[in-house]
Amino acid sequence: MVTSKIVIDEIYWERVQLFISGHAENLDISRGNFILRNLMETKALSANGVKIEDNHFVCRFDVAILDDGSYLPSGQYLLVDQQELDYIAQINHGLLDSNLYDLTEEQLDKYEAKETYNGRNNYLLDRYTKVFRKGGDSKKKKYTVKPKISEEVNEFVLDVKFDGLAKPHQSVVRKKVRAIKKRYNKISFKIRNFFFHALFKSAKKFHTKKGRTVLFTSDSRDSMSGNFAFVYNEMLRQNLDKEYKIHQIFKPNITERRGLIDKFRFPYLLGKADYIFVDDFHPLIYQLEFKSMQEIIQVWHAVGAFKTVGFSRAGKRGGPLFDSKNHRNYTKAYVSSETDVPFYGEAFGIKEEYVIPTGVPRTDILFDKEYEKNIVEELKEELPFIIGKKVILFAPTFRGNGHRTAHYPFFKIDFERFARYCEENNAVVLFKMHPFVKNELNIPPQYEDYFFDISDAREVNDILFITDILISDYSSLIYEFAVFKKPMLFYAFDLEDYITSRDFYEPYESFVPGKIVETFDDLITALKREDFEQEKVPEFLDKHFKYQDGKSSERLVNDLFSEQSEEENEQIGELYG
């Protein structure tokens, strides 16, 4: 197949004007529009000038006025030729050949010392960086435009940073109002914090004996769902709701405030509850000192130990240092298998004896044949386009540094080739994007018979029952899908950089239960040849799912609440001799 592409051959500056020249291959660029577009797809800026001669182009970008008369704001920008399809510009490999540069021994040592292939490429591209300093020598206030290969998307970008950006001018009145608000917020926080701890300590003081109060709480879940729902339903099945008073306090995300009543209920129940269930990061929990008889139980939302979290990231960006109190007060953490025990002990900073491999409650439905039969029928009614089709689930994780900057580079998907594969193989693709992803998936109208966005649909585990092939990258969804013993492909176009920045508990290449592909060409080739390396799945499943019987919820509840019965029996025995 003939491939169309845009290639950058030269980068140079004239004052504040950035020039990017290059050529097109198998593409009529006279029909397009050259733009700079950020990775989150929230800003697209046309070149200030473009010259085209045959298949060659020169784009001029005045970085001082590019954004409607203002400077190009901070961010990473792709060079895109916008036509019916978007063509992302690639860097000419000649610009990345160290042999073409006259490097000194010292420079060559620095080049070779770079940890990743892109690190070495960026060392060479750094010579095209332009730095504008205030007054010519300011160290604090500077504007930098750096051509590089982005670690997030493994593509050529312009990385723009404005350090020491001046704050917008404010009137005297606005400054005073802002100062008052800041002071108010500080005082308000101190008052809330005081009452929170006062209520917690009071409740703790008045409940001196272990009782029968259970609290489910999450800062990132708005209802009884996920592992919580399975533990709760198992408690109901065992009639434990008749023995225990069960409470729940949820909110959908960390930044949202609790309602007025919950502001009082929450610290009170934290002080009173004998069993406190959490399923994710929960910052308010970590600053409290609970009674020794209270159980703080972590039923982590993900299955298995894939990407590093918590103290496993100590010393890395976004990771805690060893004096942090985060996670450390869990008395129990329930995981899928013995393999996960040292990893979760490390991540949470707790003794490994506190990590118990009973299985993950929410995976119980994966082994429930009756549930499978019913959910498949329901999904066929909801998604009639899957009937009689091979169903491919495309479910990657996000790129970015958290929920505020989360995105997925949809340009890494060749929709035209993907649609052709679907047409030739009677297939459809369901796109299930991570809930953090901000940029929208825009499916070209001509491909709407093959591609369907189900990102807002039901629990992803339900979708697995109708999936024939999973395409993912670094998502822990692979654990659940392994249960079905079906093929997986790992489209990891930024693997080397991802390993360097995020890292994994086990080597990615030998860990994942399927074929790894780093280009979309290789992805399509693997699909066509049915080259999935599926033989890796059974071993992966046996290693990471100790129990494959659908009784993980029962084991967890029995392990936790049988201790209460044993303690009561001991007390009765002591009482009656």
Tens digits of residue pLDDT in 234-264: 999 999 999 999 999 999 877 788 888 999 9
pLDDT over 70 at 577, yes or no: no
Residue-wise pLDDT for 100-133, tens only, equals: 888 999 999 999 999 899 999 999 999 999 999 9
**DSSP class of 399:** B
**pTM of the complete model beyond 0.75:** yes
- Helix/strand/coil for 67: strand
The DSSP result for 157-200, as a single string, is EEEEEEETPPPPP--HHHHHHHHHHHHHHHHHHHHHHHHHHHHH
Top CATH class of 190-361 equals alpha beta
Buried b (16+ CB within 10 A) or exposed e, 64-81: bebeeeebbeebbbbbbb
Q: Give per-residue pLDDT as tens, 212-236.
A: 999 999 998 888 999 999 999 999 9
Helix axes 226-237, 552-575, angle to 10 degrees: 50
Give the pLDDT band (50/70/90) at residue 318: confident
- How confident is the model at residue 573, as a pLDDT? 46
Over residues 350-395, the pLDDT tens digits come to 999 999 999 999 999 999 999 999 999 999 999 999 999 999 999 9
**In this structure, are strands 86-91 and 5-14 parallel, antiparallel, or unpaired?**
parallel
| Per-residue pLDDT at 572 exceeds 70 | no
Q: Answer yes or no: is pLDDT of 564 > 60.
A: no
| Residue 467 · residue 391 · CB < 8 Å | yes
At 239, is the secondary structure helix, strand, or coil? Answer: coil
Residue carrying structure tokens 């060392």: 123
Q: Residue 524's pLDDT is what?
A: 97
Q: How many CB atoms lie within 10 A of CB 517?
A: 21
C-alpha to C-alpha distance for 525 and 517, rounded to whole angstroms: 10
Domain spans, the chain: 5-163, 190-361, 369-549
What percent of the chain clears pLDDT 90, i.e. is strictly above it? 71
Give the pLDDT confidence of 177-225 residue by residue, as tens digits.
888 888 888 898 899 899 999 999 999 998 888 889 999 999 988 889 9
Region of 503 on the Ramachandran plot (φ > 0 left; ψ -120 to 50 alpha; else beta): left
Stretch (H or E) spanning 26:
none
Instruction: Give the model confidence (pLDDT) of 145-171 as tens digits.
Output: 999 999 889 999 999 999 987 666 777
Give the position of tokens 């845009």. 6
pLDDT at 458: 60
The residue type of 512 is V
Q: With both helix axes pointing from N to C terminus, report the angle between 172-206 and 260-272 in degrees, rounded to the nearest 10.
A: 40
Would you call 258 exposed, middle or buried from its count of C-beta atoms within 10 A (0-12, 13-18, 19+)?
Answer: middle
Residues 152, 494: contact at Cβ < 8 Å? Answer: yes
Instruction: Compute φ and ψ for 554, nearest 5 degrees.
Output: -65, -45
Structural tokens at position 296? 């703080």
Stretch 494-500: mean pLDDT, rounded? 87
Model confidence pLDDT, tens digit, residues 85-102:
899 999 999 999 998 888
User: CATH number of the domain at 369-549, out of 3.40.390.30, 3.30.9.10, 1.10.3470.10, 3.40.50.12580?
Assistant: 3.40.50.12580
pLDDT in tens, 286-305: 999 999 999 999 999 889 88
Is the per-residue pLDDT at 574 higher than 80?
A: no
Length of the chain, in residues = 577
Amino acid sitting at position 503: D
Q: Assess whether the region 190-361 and the region 369-549 belong to the same CATH fold.
A: yes
Phi-psi region of 3 (alpha: psi -120 to 50; beta: other; left: phi over 0): beta
